[in-house]
Amino acid sequence: MTKVLVLYYSSYGHLEQMADAVADGARAGGAEVDIRRVPETAPPEVAAAAGFKADISHPVIEGISALANYDAIVIGAPTRFGRMPSQMASFLDQAGGLWMSGALHGKVGGAFTSTATQHGGQETTLFSIITNLLHFGLTIVGLDYGFQGQMGVDEVKGGSPYGATTIADGNGSRQPSATELDGARYQGKRIAETAAKLAA
Using CB atoms within 10 Å of the CB of residue 147, give its burial: 0 to 12 exposed, 13 to 18 middle, 19+ buried. buried
61 pLDDT band, cuts 50/70/90, is very high
179 and 149 Cβ atoms separated by less than 8 Å? yes
Sequence-separated (6 or more) residues with CB below 8 Å from residue 154 = none
114 is in an annotated binding site: no
Residue 56 has pLDDT above 90, yes or no: no
10 is in an annotated binding site: yes
pTM of the entire structure?
Answer: 0.96
Beta bridge mates, 113: 77, 165
200 pLDDT band, cuts 50/70/90, is confident
pLDDT, mean of residues 65-88: 97
Count of alpha carbons within 13 angstroms of residue 195, beta-carbon side: 30
Count the helices and strands in the chain (H runs, E runs). Answer: 6, 6
- Domain 3-199 CATH superfamily: Flavodoxin domain (3.40.50.360)
Region of 85 on the Ramachandran plot (φ > 0 left; ψ -120 to 50 alpha; else beta): beta
Which pLDDT score, from 0 to 100, does residue 2 have?
97
79 is in an annotated binding site: yes
Strands (E), 66-173: 72-78, 108-115, 139-140, 164-167
Residue 100 has pLDDT above 90, yes or no: yes
119 is in an annotated binding site: no
78 pLDDT band, cuts 50/70/90, is very high
Which pLDDT score, from 0 to 100, does residue 37 have?
97
User: Domain locations in the chain?
Assistant: 3-199
12 is in an annotated binding site: yes
pLDDT, mean of residues 175-199: 97
Which pLDDT score, from 0 to 100, does residue 55 have?
86
81 is in an annotated binding site: yes
